[in-house]
Amino acid sequence: MGRPPCCDKVGVKKGPWTPEEDIILVSYIQEHGPGNWKAIPTNSGLSRCSKSCRLRWTNYLRPGIKRGSFTEQEENLIIHLQALLGNRWAAITSYLPERTDNDIKNHWNTHMKKKLRRIENEGGMIAGSGFSKNQSIAKGQWEKRLQTDINMAKQALQEALSMEKPSFLYESKPSSSSHSSSTPPSSTTYASSTENISRLLENWMRKAPKNSDKSTQHSVKNFVNIGADSTSSDGTITSVANNHIVSPEISQFQVDSKPCLDERFSLSLIETWLFDENYWGGNGSNIVLDFSFDDASHELF
DNA sequence: AAAGGTTACAACCGCCTAAGG
DNA sequence: CCCTTAGGCGGTTGTAACCTT
């Protein structure tokens, strides 16, 4: 007996989500909170499988998602983390909470791989691996990587237990140049969808005074704000969440749908290393190439 | 202006893991 | 323990938008 499909394939809609479907999903989650994905299609009336709903929410509709082009600092961080963690996008995403793993993965595959390949051709190193050619197939590399990960986890745990709470790493440095990218963020279909959803949600709010529950309305309003912010005239995303003035509800969403926030609290050593400009050799183009695990692990642990 | 090629990204697929019975 | 299943993750694909000729 094979594994049954996650959802009944018959009658399950596939393909791009419509704004109407988004509204239904968001409305349902506003009311019931994220989670119990299995129940969402049935209870909300969506003809989508639970997986599709979860993905749509986490990658697209969840409040606090930053869209648009990546800043140089974000890219540097991704390169560095990819060298350290490999293609573990979920782990990498925990350092860039405003980005989704899908977003980072896509950006890596479409932009950064190419960029690094170009650098590799110029510099004769293996891009993205964090190792020079003669190191790349070094015996014991995986063991070393694993050990580093274990050490990282231990360190994080220790710091978490000691209640050390460094400020959010994304609050300080990355945001400082968040609009420094020379290329304007691309306007995608998301923008118009979001505007539609925002409008619909506003109408929905007006029509739905049944919610004596203020918090629900409040959170919907926040969602609307975020939607509007995310499509501001200059195309940049400066959401409420970016400034961390998020409603408890939204915080809850983020906590619920993202990896443990405490992970981020407890990585001051790592973040120092990750954001240390010196590591990046000034222009960020050589960093990975000069980076090796020996250096990093020695410094970190 | 049209055709063909390229890029970007939303969404799907299938595997893995952990929780619950 | 074993089995089932929901949720999570990374790889891959499909396609709309954009660019070049």
Å between A210 CA and C12 C1'? 45
Collect all residues with Cβ–Cβ distance below 8 Å to A169 and sequence separation of at least 6: A95, A264, A267, A271, A274, A275
A113 in contact with nucleic chain C (CB within 7 A): no
pLDDT at position A274 is 59
pLDDT at position A181 is 35
Å between A243 CA and B15 C1'? 38
Comma-separated ranges of CATH 1.10.10.60 domains in chain A: 72-119
CA angle A101, A275, A226 (to 5 degrees): 45
Conformation bin of residue A137: beta by default, left when phi > 0, alpha when psi is -120 to 50 = alpha
Where does A19-61 sit in CATH, by number? 1.10.10
Q: Quote the CATH superfamily of domain A72-119.
A: Homeodomain-like (1.10.10.60)
pLDDT along chain A (301 residues), means of 10: 47 84 88 85 87 88 83 85 85 85 86 77 49 40 51 55 42 35 36 46 46 39 40 35 37 42 46 54 42 42 41
Is the whole model's pTM more than 0.85, yes or no?
no
| Whether A274 contacts A81, CB under 8 Å | yes
Cα distance between residue A105 and residue A158, in whole Å: 30
pLDDT at position A5 is 45
Locate A92 and state its tokens.
């990498």
A181 in contact with nucleic chain B (CB within 7 A): no
pLDDT at position A273 is 58
A102 in contact with nucleic chain B (CB within 7 A): yes
pLDDT at position A12 is 81
A172 in contact with nucleic chain C (CB within 7 A): no
User: What single DSSP character describes residue A66?
Assistant: -
Å between A21 CA and B12 C1'? 17
Collect all residues with Cβ–Cβ distance below 8 Å to A222 and sequence separation of at least 6: A63, A240, A246, A247, A249, A250
pLDDT at position A30 is 85
Q: Which nucleotides of B are covered by protein (CB under 7 A)?
A: 7-16
